[in-house]
C-alpha cells in the first residue's frame, strides 16, 4: 500500500506550506512586518497546484472510486470529501483574489487576506484529518490487493502523466523554492 504512504507524505508537505503561510500572516499582523509577496504568492500557487490539481484528482479517480465500489456504506463520507475537493477549488480562488487585493490595496486589505488564509488552512486541515482518520482505515479494510495495485500505480505516478511522477518532481521543486524563499524559522531564506 504504497499509496497510503504517498498520501500521508503529500498531506505533510501541504500542511507544512499551510503552517508556513499562517506563520507569516500572523507575523505581519502582530509585528507589522512588511509582507513578502514572493513567498506568499509561491505558497498560494503551491496550494493551487498540488492539493487542488495533483493530489485531490488522484484521490477522487482511484482511492475514492474503488472504495465507493467495494464498500457502499462509505458513500456519504466519500460524497462529502469529494464535495470538499470542489469547495476547496473555489476557496483557493478566494485566497488568490484576497492576495491580489492585499498586494494592490495595501494594509486595509490585510484583515480580509488573513481571514481567507485562516479559513483555508482550517478547512484543509479538517479535510486531511477526515481522510487519514476515516477513509484510510476503511480503505485498508475493504480494498483488495488488485485495487491497491491500481491505486499504488496511480499515486506512484505510473498511470496518468498529468498526475504522474514528472509532475511530482516539479512540485517537489516548488516546495524547495518555498523553503528557500521563506525566512527562518519556517524556511532557509534570508532572515528579515
Q: Among 184, 183, 177, 189, which residue's Cα sits nearest to residue 43?
A: 177
Least distance CB 44 / Fe ion (angstroms): 18
Q: How far is the CB of 144 from Fe ion (least distance, A)?
A: 22
Residue 127 Cβ vs Fe ion, minimum distance, rounded to whole Å: 6
Smallest gap from Cβ 81 to Fe ion, in A, equals 6
User: Which of 60, 118 has the CB closer to Fe ion?
Assistant: 60
CB of 55: closest distance to Fe ion in angstroms? 5
Site residues (vs Fe ion, CB under 5 A): 56, 59, 131
Closest to Fe ion by CB, 102 or 124: 124
Sign of the C-alpha dihedral computed for residues 2, 126, 119 and 31 taken in this order: negative
The residue among 131 and 152 lying less far from Fe ion, judged by its C-beta, is 131
Burial pattern 150-164, b for ≥16 Cβ within 10 A else e, equals: bbbbbbebebeeebb
Report the residue number, 8 or 192, with the smaller CB distance to Fe ion: 8
Distances (CA, A) of 122 to 10, 11, 133, 171: 17, 14, 16, 22
14/51 Cα distance (integer angstroms): 7
What size, in residues, is the chain? 192
Cα(102)–Cα(189) distance, integer angstroms: 22
Q: Please, which residue, 62 or 110, has the CB nearer to Fe ion? A: 62
CA gyration radius for the chain? 18
Amino acid at each position: 500500500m504504497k499509496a497510503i504512504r504517498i498520501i500521508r507524505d503529500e498531506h505533510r508537505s501541504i500542511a507544512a506550506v499551510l503552517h508556513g503561510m499562517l506563520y507569516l500572516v500572523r507575523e505581519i499582523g502582530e509585528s507589522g512586518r512588511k509582507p513578502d509577496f514572493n513567498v506568499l504568492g509561491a505558497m498560494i500557487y503551491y496550494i493551487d497546484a498540488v492539493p487542488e490539481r495533483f493530489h485531490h484528482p488522484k484521490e477522487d479517480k482511484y482511492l475514492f472510486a474503488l472504495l465507493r465500489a467495494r464498500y457502499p456504506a462509505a458513500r456519504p463520507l466519500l460524497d462529502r470529501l469529494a464535495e470538499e475537493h470542489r469547495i476547496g477549488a473555489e476557496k483557493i480562488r478566494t485566497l488568490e483574489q484576497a492576495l491580489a487585493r492585499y498586494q494592490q490595496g495595501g494594509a486595509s486589505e490585510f484583515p480580509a487576506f488573513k481571514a481567507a488564509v485562516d479559513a483555508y488552512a482550517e478547512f484543509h486541515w479538517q479535510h486531511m484529518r477526515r481522510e487519514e482518520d476515516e477513509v484510510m482505515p476503511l480503505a485498508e479494510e475493504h480494498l483488495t490487493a488488485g485495487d491497491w495495485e491500481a491505486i499504488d500505480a496511480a499515486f506512484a505516478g505510473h498511470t496518468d502523466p498529468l498526475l504522474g511522477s514528472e509532475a511530482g518532481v516539479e512540485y517537489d521543486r516548488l516546495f524547495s523554492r518555498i523553503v528557500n524563499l521563506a525566512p527562518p524559522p519556517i524556511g532557509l531564506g534570508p532572515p528579515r
